[in-house]
C-alpha cells in the first residue's frame, strides 16, 4: 500500500520509487540541515519528473514559509491542492507553515476547503472517463464521499457499492463512531474507487509496483493509496472490504491527527475480510482461513507475544511471517469484538495515543488484563477454541459438483461441471459464482468458508453470472475432489 506519512519536521514524504529515493532522502536531509536552497532544488526536480504528485509542492510551501516568503508558500500550496493534497488538519497544524497561516490566502483556502475537495473529485472522475472510456460506469456516493469507476455490469457494480455501504455501516457503528460527526463530513476528502478490467488492473499494478512475476500479480487483490485518495481492486469481496476499511480508518486518523501502527491498521482492516449474517441478523466478522492459522499456532504455543506484535515496524510486519502477523492482528480484534469491547478499545486507544501510540496500554485496560503475559494467556486460550472452517489450502471432499478456479474479480470461475445436479441446474464452464446459500462468494476461500457446515445431499441455492446475465440455481452438495 502506498500512503502519505508525516515525517521529520512534519514534511510530507510519499513512499518514493527507487529512482526518487536518493533525491528524496537528500532533500529531507538538506531541509533538516536548513540548507533550503538544496532542498528546494531537489523538490523542484521531483515535481518536474512527476507533475501529478502534490508532495514536492507541499514541501516547497513549507520551505518558503519557513524562509518568510509567505506569498511563495501560498502559490506552492495552491499547486499542491490542485495536484491532490487534501489533508486540512496537516495544513492547519504543520509547524513549518506557521508563517503561511497568518496570510489571507491561507484563510481563503480554509474557508473554501469543501469546494476544493468537490473540484478535486470532479477532476479525478473526468480523468478516469478519459482513461477508461464509455464502457465503464461512473457513480457518486454522496453519503460516504466515494466516486465509483466500474468496468462491471450494472448489477455487479451495484452489489460492489452495497458491499462498501455495509462495511461502512458496520465500521462506523462498531469501531469509528467519531465518523458520525456530520459537521466534519464536508472536510473528508472524496475517494475514487476503481473496479477495473483485468487488463487495466495489470496496467495499474505495473505502474504502481513495477514489473512483477505473474503469480505475484495474480495474488494482488488491490490497494488503497491514501496520498492519491484512490482505491483500486480486482476483487469485489474480501479485498474491497479490507481496502475500503482503510479509507474509513484514515479518515478517522486524519480527524484525530494521529497515525496508528501497522498492527492496528491491518488487523482492523483484515477483520472485515470475512463477514457473515448471525442468527440475530447482524453482519459480523466470521471465522476464516486466517483464524484457522491462529488456532493452530495457539495449540502449538507459537503465537507472537503481544508486546512484540504491537511494536513491529511496517517493513517487518509485511515481510517477516506476514501471513501470521495479519492473522494474529485480525484475531486480536476479533477477540475484543467477541467480548463487546472493540469500540471501547478504539475510543480508549485514541484518547491515550499520546501516552502510548503502540496501543498496548489501551489493549490491556480494555481487556482487563494486568500485563502483556496475562493477555497472551487469555488470548491463547480463546484462540485454541476457534472453530475450523474449510479453506483453499486444504479443500474438503464436498462441493457443488463443479471444478472452480481462481478468477480475480467478482467470483470463482466454473472450469468444469461434474455432477448431474450441477448440469441439470444449468451451470456451464465460464460461469462466475457469486453467492451460495444466501451468502456472498467472491473468491475460493470465501466459497470454502460458506461450504463449512453444509452436508452431502443438501440442496442450496447458488447465484452466478454468465457474462452480463445474473442467474440463480438449486444444486446438491456432493462428494467430490477438485
Q: What three-state secondary structure class fits 196?
A: coil
Q: Which of 473, 362, 343 shows the shortest CA–CA distance to 414?
A: 473
- Among 4-8, 50-54, 316-320, where is mean pLDDT lowest? 4-8
Specify the CATH class of 4-111 in words.
mainly alpha
For position 212, what pLDDT does the model report?
Answer: 63
**Confidence class of residue 15 from pLDDT cuts 50, 70 and 90?**
very low
b vs e for 415-447, b when ≥16 Cβ sit within 10 Å of the residue's Cβ?
eebbbebbeebebeeebbbbbbeebbbbbbbbb
For position 8, what pLDDT does the model report?
Answer: 39
Domain spans of the chain, in order of start: 4-111, 117-257, 271-389, 398-479
Q: Inform me whether the pLDDT recorded for 240 exceeds 90.
A: yes
Q: Inform me whether the pLDDT recorded for 262 exceeds 50.
A: yes
Q: Inform me whether the pLDDT recorded for 21 exceeds 90.
A: no
Average confidence score pLDDT of the chain: 91
Interhelix angle 113-132/104-111, nearest 10 degrees = 70
For position 5, what pLDDT does the model report?
Answer: 31
Q: Report which secondary-structure segment, H or E, holds 285.
A: strand 283-285
User: Would 4-111 and 398-479 be classified into the same CATH topology?
Assistant: no
User: Regarding the domain with residue range 117-257, which homologous superfamily does it belong to in the CATH classification?
Assistant: Collagenase ColT, N-terminal domain (3.40.30.160)
The one-character DSSP state at 358 is T
Domain covering 398-479 in this structure, CATH number: 2.30.42.10
> Which whole-number Å values give the CA distances from 429 to 258, 274, 401, 478, in the listed order?
49, 27, 12, 18
Q: Can you give the pTM of this predicted structure?
A: 0.91
Q: Each residue of 344-380: pLDDT tens digit?
A: 999 999 999 999 999 999 999 999 999 999 999 999 9
Amino acid at each position: 500500500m502506498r500512503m502519505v506519512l508525516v515525517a521529520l519536521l512534519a514534511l510530507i514524504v510519499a513512499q518514493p520509487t527507487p529512482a526518487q529515493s536518493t533525491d528524496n532522502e537528500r532533500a529531507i536531509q538538506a531541509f533538516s540541515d536548513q540548507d533550503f536552497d538544496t532542498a528546494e532544488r531537489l523538490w523542484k526536480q521531483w515535481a518536474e519528473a512527476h507533475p501529478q504528485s502534490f508532495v514536492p509542492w507541499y514541501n516547497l510551501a513549507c520551505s518558503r514559509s519557513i524562509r518568510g516568503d509567505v506569498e511563495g508558500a501560498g502559490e506552492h500550496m495552491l499547486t499542491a491542492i490542485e495536484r491532490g493534497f487534501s489533508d486540512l488538519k496537516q495544513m492547519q497544524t504543520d509547524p513549518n507553515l506557521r508563517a503561511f497561516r497568518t496570510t489571507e490566502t491561507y484563510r481563503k483556502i480554509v474557508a473554501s476547503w469543501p469546494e476544493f475537495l468537490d473540484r478535486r473529485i470532479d477532476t479525478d472522475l473526468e480523468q478516469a472517463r478519459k482513461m477508461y472510456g464509455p464502457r465503464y460506469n461512473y457513480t457518486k456516493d454522496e453519503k460516504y464521499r466515494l466516486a465509483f469507476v466500474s468496468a462491471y455490469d450494472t448489477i455487479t457494480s451495484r452489489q460492489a457499492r452495497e458491499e462498501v455501504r455495509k462495511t461502512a455501516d458496520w465500521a462506523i457503528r462498531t469501531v469509528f463512531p467519531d465518523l458520525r460527526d456530520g459537521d466534519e463530513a464536508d472536510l473528508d476528502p472524496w475517494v475514487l474507487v476503481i473496479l477495473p478490467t483485468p487488463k487495466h488492473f495489470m496496467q495499474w499494478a505495473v505502474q504502481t509496483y513495477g514489473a512483477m512475476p505473474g503469480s505475484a500479480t495474480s495474488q494482488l487483490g488491490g490497494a488503497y493509496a491514501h496520498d492519491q485518495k484512490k482505491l483500486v481492486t480486482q476483487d469485489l469481496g474480501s479485498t474491497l472490504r479490507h481496502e475500503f476499511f482503510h479509507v474509513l480508518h484514515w479518515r478517522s486518523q486524519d480527524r484525530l491527527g494521529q497515525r496508528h501502527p501497522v498492527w492496528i491498521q491491518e488487523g482492523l482492516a483484515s477483520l472485515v475480510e470475512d463477514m457473515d449474517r448471525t442468527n440475530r441478523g447482524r453482519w459480523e466478522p466470521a471465522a476464516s482461513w486466517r483464524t484457522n492459522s491462529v488456532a493452530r499456532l495457539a495449540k502449538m504455543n507459537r503465537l507472537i507475544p503481544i508486546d512484540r506484535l504491537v511494536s513491529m515496524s511496517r517493513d517487518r510486519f509485511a515481510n517477516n511471517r506476514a501471513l501470521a502477523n495479519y492473522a494474529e492482528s485480525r484475531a486480536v480484534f476479533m477477540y475484543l469484538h467477541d467480548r463487546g469491547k472493540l469500540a471501547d478499545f478504539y475510543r480508549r486507544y485514541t484518547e491515550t495515543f499520546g501516552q502510548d501510540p503502540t496501543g498496548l496500554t489501551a489493549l490491556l485496560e480494555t481487556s482487563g488484563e494486568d500485563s502483556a503475559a496475562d493477555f497472551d494467556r487469555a488470548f491463547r486460550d480463546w484462540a485454541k477454541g476457534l472453530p475450523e472452517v474449510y479453506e483453499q489450502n486444504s479443500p474438503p471432499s464436498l462441493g457443488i459438483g463443479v471444478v472452480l478456479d481462481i478468477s480475480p474479480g467478482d467470483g470463482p470461475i466454473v472450469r468444469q461441471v461434474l455432477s448431474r445436479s450441477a448440469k441439470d441446474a444449468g451451470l456451464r464452464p465460464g460461469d462466475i459464482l457469486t453467492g451460495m446459500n444466501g451468502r456472498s462468494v467472491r473468491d475460493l476461500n470465501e466459497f470454502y468458508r460458506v461450504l463449512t457446515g453444509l452436508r452431502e445431499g443438501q440442496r442450496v441455492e447458488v447465484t452466478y453470472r454468465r457474462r452480463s446475465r445474473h442467474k440463480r440455481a438449486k444444486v446438491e452438495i456432493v462428494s467430490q475432489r477438485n
